[in-house]
Structure 1
């Protein structure tokens, strides 16, 4: 009896040891992966506090002597704060417009009997196949004909419609039980009331996900604002970072100043992602402790 007990105890210890070893390797791999992904950001933060001489010294790894002066210079001397306000206004308008229009389009596609409904939906998806370079020239001509060039409308209007958002909301609405829809109809609930009182509360995670993706996408726009906006004071933050490359000191590019601008431009999307992370995790059924 004692021998069997000792054998079972030994086997249990072996299983625990194997399990601990497997988890150790998994966590070690995760830590290494996170460290490798975070390394460029850490180096950018270090460089943002360094002077041009310190940046070009490859042996200097760590915080520099410039401190936060590069951040202050980028924000106020090079008007990066103004560009960030422009980008925030642009991204906010695009998020609100895209989510609103996509919700209404998905509502019409799912809960209304439309002629050639599938053909309309396929036509919406086909717009995803048109590459951006093909659309730039005719879109710029359209903005010029409408008199929108060099205005906020030119960098927000073309991004309001989104086939991807319509597709995501449509698929989500189709997963809602039909019995819920029938009960709402029997109670005399109208389409818009059904949207605001039923669909939107049940789609918080999807709306949060689309909003985050849209905000980050709009915040990182560079090519289209560079083409359609001619006034420098109306430019967005990504183009503003490009302006920082023109700064030089003693013939050396001020990479510390550029990295400070890049770190500053990273903060608003990070804040938005953190603010909406709970509904995002609920959408993917990830439990939080």
Structure 2
């Protein structure tokens, strides 16, 4: 049933348009600025339309080492992609097994184990950053992909969300699979995973964005430009020279840093929405 409220509809659309402008204007300014020359951006007036240096700026970032960093933007984006994929896949794998064990296995202190995992949500990365860095340094994993990924692959949030999803599955399904001779791994592979694919897709998007936008940990764990990520290199790009910052390159790098998360969201939008809203199995 739909109510005919033209004034409310216009107000809603106006708020949506204002929201798009507020969130989209910085991206538009970065996109247009990345197509101008350095001299055009030193005037103090942000260009609102495209210039003629876009291809040259992007090609310079992708094909040549960035001054002060020693690596190209392509290497930085590849590092970010490896880290984001490693964190997303690792978080889902560990959380999947943990939630599966908590829901479908009967063992002592099962509820206590879940709440101990859940309590870790109260400990942000900043609180445990010093002991985490000490452990990673002791194992010799500083400035490696493993050191950048492994400390971040445990996720209480993903475990909680998957637990809630698994609890919506009928217990009779597990009993029927057991009567048919299906073991725990087969039940996980043939029943739980197919029924939870939309939830896993939604979690993948969330965890990929979490890994891609990491700043503090890769700033500490990656000491060399060969393992630096695109996000932490934006600041270094602006401060890499003693002259005026190359804003045309900085804005082009910002645009390229935004594109992979946007591509993941667009590609998995349908699964992402279904995974967050579909509760029927």
Q: TM-score, normalization: structure 2?
A: 0.89
Alignment partner, residue 218 of structure 2: 225
- Aligned pairs (5 A) from 1:1-289: 19-57=5-43, 58=45, 60-77=47-64, 78=66, 79-248=72-241, 251-285=243-277
Distance 1:190 1:157 in 2: 30
Unaligned 5+ runs, structure 2: 67-71
Unaligned 5+ runs, structure 1: 1-14
Q: When you count helix as a share of all residues, which structure comes out higher?
A: 1
Distance 1:165 1:285 in 2: 16
1:59 CA drift (Å)? 6.4
SS at match of 1:82: helix
Alignment partner, residue 69 of structure 2: none
Q: Say how many residue pairs are matched.
A: 270
Distance 1:269 1:59, change over 3 A: closer
Distance 1:263 1:142 in 2: 35
From the CA coordinates, give the structure whose radius of gyration is larger.
Answer: 1
Superimposed CA distance per residue, residues 175-204 of structure 1 (whole angstroms, 9 cap, x where no aligned partner): 112222222222221111111111111111
Superimposed CA distance per residue, residues 198-253 of structure 1 (whole angstroms, 9 cap, x where no aligned partner): 1111111110111111111111112211112212112111122222113559x322
Say what the alpha-carbon RMSD is for the aligned residues.
Answer: 2.0
Task: Judge conservation of contact 1:216–1:269 (CA < 8 Å) in 2.
Answer: yes
